[in-house]
Amino acid sequence: MGQTPTSDDLRNRLVDEILQDVRLTADVERAMRTVHREAFLPGIDLEEAYVDQAVSIKDNPLGGPLPLSCASVPSVVGMMLSQLEVQPGDDILEIGAGTGYNAALLAELAGDNGHVTSIDIDSDVALHARTMLDRAGYRHVHVMERDGLIGAPENAPYDRMLAAVGLWDVPAAWWGQLGNGGRLVLPLRWRGQTRSVALTRHGDTLVSEGMELCGFVPIIGQDGEKTTALNIDGTISVIHDEDQAVDAGALGNCLTTTGIEVMSGQRIGGEESFDGVWLRATATDDRVCRLQVMPDALAQELLLRPAIPGRSPILIDRDSLAYLVVRREGVDPQRPHRLGAAAYGPHAGELAQDLIGHIEAWGTARTAVPRLSITPAKSAVAAGPGHVISKPESRLRLTY
């Protein structure tokens, strides 16, 4: 019989696995090899604590599909902390206390001369984080029950701010709390997709230093993203921003017609990501949002199968729509799948060609990401290149 692995064994094994797919800074790797994740997940089996997966700590009281709070996927935690680039002595604000594990990692990164403030709107979650941090020896971390949209101005300015909850907009209150030259990392959602964006403040502008695909529990208090069902039982829906007009009746009717498929010239391998198509489309096209198709709709063959049924980019325009599909064609063993568009409605052909255009544009530089700059909504719109998306509290500009 083999020896039972210890906490150190499991922790190091997990970090080794993460390093195969995620580039961690040396300081983040050290912190993740130091902090005991199981100490923040009481009642969880030791080996389960060191699996690269999220762990819910409080269910959503409204009965939604996502938990109110959870311990994030460790590889995502490491990725975001690497984006944050914490320096010894930094003052840090974390929005979304979760289990307290993130705050412990931040405390390790900031060192003895740094300071970490972690806030959460839910009293139970804040108490859990406080209790676990105390037990693990991180009593110097400041935990507060506080609305994340307000932040913690009493400990500002911060050198680093990290949101461990999904944001649809950048709260106006945060601008007065991040110091000039400081860095903000947050899971930001626009046009139905979420990216962990690293932003550096330059005066009244936040400028991106990189972005990575991710998914997070949304912050409480922002409702600019809407879900509109396209059929009676809600098994087909679009998730869209509040500035995007969605005619549920017209789009639902178009799905009762015969759809068309148009294939692009872009092929992908079995494990190759194509989420960049979606990102590329958001930088030029205000019609792109997210299609969500439930298993029942697929089983009934209510529409042609989307690329990823739960989350595929879709273009919507009045009474017509077009969304991303992937079809296997065995002519190229290295890249056996071809990307294309399925479309419905009177303008199906036009929308399909527009989506093909986004696919082909992505295909010319598959790993390229746009430069994202964010300014307060109250500021004047500056002239310049790029595509602007306006939200109530901020303005996003995407430029390739």
Catalytic residue annotation: 72
Cα–Cα–Cα angle for 130, 131, 137, nearest 5°? 90
205, HSE (Cβ side, Cα atoms, 13 Å)? 12
Residues 6+ apart with CB under 8 A from 12: 33
Cα 317 to Cα 313: distance, rounded to the nearest angstrom: 13
Helix axes 26-34, 7-19, angle to 10 degrees: 150
Structure token digits, residue 392: 């109530």
CA dihedral 316, 317, 319, 325 (to 10 degrees): -30
Rg of the chain in Å (alpha carbons): 22
Q: Which long-range contacts (CB under 8 A, 24 or more apart) does 109-115 make?
A: 109/27, 109/28, 109/31, 109/81, 110/86, 113/88, 113/89, 114/86, 114/88, 114/89, 114/90, 115/90, 115/91, 115/140, 115/142, 115/155
For β-strands 312-317 and 288-293, DSSP reports them as: antiparallel
Distance in Å from the first CA to the final CA of the chain:
56
Cα 313 to Cα 362: distance, rounded to the nearest angstrom: 13
Count of C-beta atoms within a 10 Å radius of residue 353? 13
Q: Are 95 and 163 in contact (CB under 8 A)?
A: yes
